[in-house]
């Protein structure tokens, strides 16, 4: 009886016990605690590569580099490190891998290992750079990867104008107004004694003096291709006799004396070339290994001279001569001008010519300047020289008389009218890049620039060589002092080094 009564009471409490047990989570399989260290990357991926977009970077002392951040393959990094540390002036961002700053010191090729890291691993790559020396104050800019240094400067502004490299490492340059040719020895020292002083001298039995100022003075200089054998140096200048009579331009030849570093044995190559206060030309260029030489004569401030026959005047022409002493000019141009003095006509004021070192192509620049109300096309030009061609200066644009077949190949015209191109040089080495090793460099006086023309078409094919792949600024000089205008650009084919002549001095780019 007692047993039955107790069992009934327990059965009455059973539902309450079950409810309590469920509410309290009872039982043998409780819910597990949360993971105290959950994995945020269920598919772990470490960085796999670190690549900067340039190798090596080409920097320059005192110039702010363009900040650069690497591209990382694989997983996203959470931090970066670099070894060894960057030098003074450059900074490294450990969060992004960015390199930035302004180099303080010139360096050879430097290599730093950059490591990108996340929780799953790391990867490494290289940041490499070269830092060139600071630009001279005359330079506003120079293409990355090149450096410029002073060879000689003229604090007294003697107006260096044209230069020529001698095979033994010496440099000759002209001081246009002083009438002197100066020599820099192979060690880079400007010698106190002039190579030649042409401020006044005797031509035959006649005393003459240099005419300087404006476009006159010394304006052409070249060494013979066979200089090692002959020692010949040629110069073009404007002179007059006593009482300011018989003003004219002449081409003279000297023989080098390497012992005294002076030019001797003067000979008259070409006489009675016209001269004026402007537009006298004066570019000298040997045709290949010689013996012929090109001589440019400006229109001497009279556009019609460029279309007149040589029997009338050599002005406005590019002449081709065999520079013997003496040389005798023909009295009239021949129908086929090969072998005579006149090579092309229709030239206003050619300051620069250049011949391709392997295929013989000749190009020239023509300075056309401001319109002045003539109505002629006044855009400065780069032209491809072809025998007997006419480059149209001096022809009346309202009544043209030049047959189309006679018109020369114009490669480029300036977009502005007053750049005044002064010099031209071929650069066929690999210094620019493997894709632009066939380039012309052009100096321009009024806008203080050195331009690079990357040529198009097949080398030696006139029908395609009048085209360009690109035109860009290679260097720009600071606008300001008179001395910063570029007058000459010369390429050392043996070293790929480029020389720029300013009125204030000579600078080497490497």
The mean per-residue pLDDT over the stretch 171-179 comes to 93
The four Cα atoms 419, 425, 427, 433 give a dihedral, to 10 degrees, of -10
Q: Which two tokens stand for residue 297?
A: 């004569």
pLDDT at 210: 97
- CA-angle at 232, arms to 226 and 237, nearest 5°: 130
Asked if 263 and 202 count as a contact pair (C-beta separation under 8 A), the reply is no
Asked if 451 and 473 count as a contact pair (C-beta separation under 8 A), the reply is yes
- Per-residue confidence at 204, pLDDT binned at 50, 70, 90? confident
460-484 pLDDT, tens digit each = 565 566 678 889 999 999 987 667 8
360-393 pLDDT, tens digit each = 889 999 998 654 445 556 789 999 998 889 999 9
Specify the 3-state DSSP secondary structure of 207.
strand
Spatial distance between the Cα atoms of 184 and 191, rounded to a whole number of angstroms: 6
Spatial distance between the Cα atoms of 398 and 82, rounded to a whole number of angstroms: 69
Cis check: omega of the bond before 291, within 30 degrees of 0: yes
Specify the 3-state DSSP secondary structure of 264.
strand
123-148 pLDDT, tens digit each = 999 999 999 999 999 999 999 889 99
CA atoms within 13 A on the CB side of 249: 31
- Per-residue confidence at 198, pLDDT binned at 50, 70, 90? very high
- Tell me which residue of 310, 325, 379, 391 sits closest to 353, measured CA to CA: 391
pLDDT at 19: 37
Q: Which two tokens stand for residue 78?
A: 């959470």
Cβ within 8 Å of residue 143, ≥6 positions away: 474, 475
- Strands 79-83 and 107-118 turn out to be antiparallel
Using DSSP, how many helices (H) and how many strands (E) does the chain show? Answer: 2, 35
Cis check: omega of the bond before 56, within 30 degrees of 0: yes
Asked if 133 and 147 count as a contact pair (C-beta separation under 8 A), the reply is yes
Q: What are the beta bridge partners of residue 342?
A: 319
Spatial distance between the Cα atoms of 493 and 113, rounded to a whole number of angstroms: 37
- Per-residue confidence at 75, pLDDT binned at 50, 70, 90? very high
108-124 pLDDT, tens digit each = 999 999 999 999 999 99
Asked if 126 and 116 count as a contact pair (C-beta separation under 8 A), the reply is no
Q: What are phi and psi of 140, to 5 degrees?
A: -85, -35
Lowest mean pLDDT among 227-231, 286-290, 322-326: 322-326
- Tell me which residue of 437, 449, 443 sits closest to 424, measured CA to CA: 443
Q: What is the pTM of this model?
A: 0.85
Strands (E), 120-279: 121-132, 139-142, 148-153, 160-165, 171-175, 180-184, 196-197, 200-203, 206-210, 218-223, 232-241, 245-257, 262-273
Number of residues assigned to the chain: 510
Q: Which helix (H) or strand (E) holds 250?
A: strand 245-257
Q: Which two tokens stand for residue 508?
A: 């080497």
First to last CA, the chain: 120
Spatial distance between the Cα atoms of 249 and 455, rounded to a whole number of angstroms: 34
Asked if 328 and 384 count as a contact pair (C-beta separation under 8 A), the reply is no
332 pLDDT more than 60: no
Question: For residue 407, how many other CB atoms are within 10 A of its CB?
Answer: 16
Sign of CA dihedral 395, 350, 416, 409: positive
The mean per-residue pLDDT over the stretch 291-320 comes to 91
């Amino acid at each position: 009886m007692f047993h039955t009564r107790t069992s009934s009471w327990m059965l009455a409490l059973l539902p309450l016990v079950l409810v309590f047990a469920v509410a309290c989570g009872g039982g043998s399989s409780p819910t597990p605690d949360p993971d105290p260290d959950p994995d945020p990357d269920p598919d772990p991926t470490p960085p796999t590569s670190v690549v900067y977009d340039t190798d090596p970077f080409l920097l320059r002392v005192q110039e702010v580099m363009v900040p650069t951040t690497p591209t990382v393959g694989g997983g996203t990094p959470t931090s970066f490190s670099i070894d060894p540390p960057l030098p003074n002036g450059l900074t490294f961002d450990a969060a992004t891998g960015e390199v930035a700053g302004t180099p303080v010191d010139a360096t050879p090729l430097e290599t730093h290992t950059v490591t990108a890291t996340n929780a799953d691993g790391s990867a490494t790559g290289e940041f490499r750079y070269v830092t060139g020396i600071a630009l001279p104050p005359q330079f506003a800019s120079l293409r990355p990867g090149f450096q410029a240094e002073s060879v000689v400067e003229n604090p007294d502004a003697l107006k260096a104008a044209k230069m020529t490299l001698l095979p033994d490492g010496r440099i000759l340059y002209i001081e246009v107004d002083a009438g002197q040719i100066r020599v820099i020895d192979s060690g880079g020292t400007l010698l106190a004694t002039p190579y030649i002083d042409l401020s006044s001298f005797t031509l035959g039995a006649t005393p003459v003096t240099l005419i300087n100022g404006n476009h006159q003075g010394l304006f052409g200089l070249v060494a013979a291709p066979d200089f090692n054998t002959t020692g010949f140096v040629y110069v073009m200048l404007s002179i007059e006799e006593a009482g300011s009579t018989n003003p004219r331009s002449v081409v003279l030849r000297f023989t080098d004396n390497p012992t005294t570093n002076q030019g001797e044995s003067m000979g008259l190559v070409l006489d009675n070339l016209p001269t004026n206060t402007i537009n006298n030309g004066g570019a000298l260029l040997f045709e290949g290994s010689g013996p012929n030489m090109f001589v440019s004569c400006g229109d001497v401030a009279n556009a019609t001279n460029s279309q007149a026959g040589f029997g009338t005047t050599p002005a406005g022409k590019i002449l081709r001569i065999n520079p013997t002493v003496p040389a005798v000019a023909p009295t009239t141009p021949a129908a086929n001008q090969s072998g005579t003095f006149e090579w092309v006509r229709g030239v206003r004021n050619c300051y620069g010519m250049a011949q391709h070192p392997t295929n013989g192509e000749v190009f020239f620049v023509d300075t056309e300047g401001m319109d002045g109300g003539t109505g002629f096309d006044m855009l400065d030009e780069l032209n491809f020289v072809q025998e007997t061609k006419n480059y149209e200066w001096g022809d009346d644009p309202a009544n043209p008389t030049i047959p189309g077949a006679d018109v020369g190949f114009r490669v480029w015209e300036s977009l502005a009218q007053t750049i005044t191109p002064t010099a031209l040089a071929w650069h066929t080495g690999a210094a620019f890049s493997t894709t632009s090793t066939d380039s012309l460099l052009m100096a321009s006086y009024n806008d203080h620039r050195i331009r690079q023309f990357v040529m198009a078409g097949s080398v030696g094919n006139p029908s395609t060589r009048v085209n360009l792949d690109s035109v860009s600024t290679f260097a720009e000089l600071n606008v300001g002092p008179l001395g910063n205008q570029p007058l000459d650009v010369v390429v050392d084919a043996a070293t790929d080094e480029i020389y720029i002549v300013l009125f204030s001095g000579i600078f080497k780019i490497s």
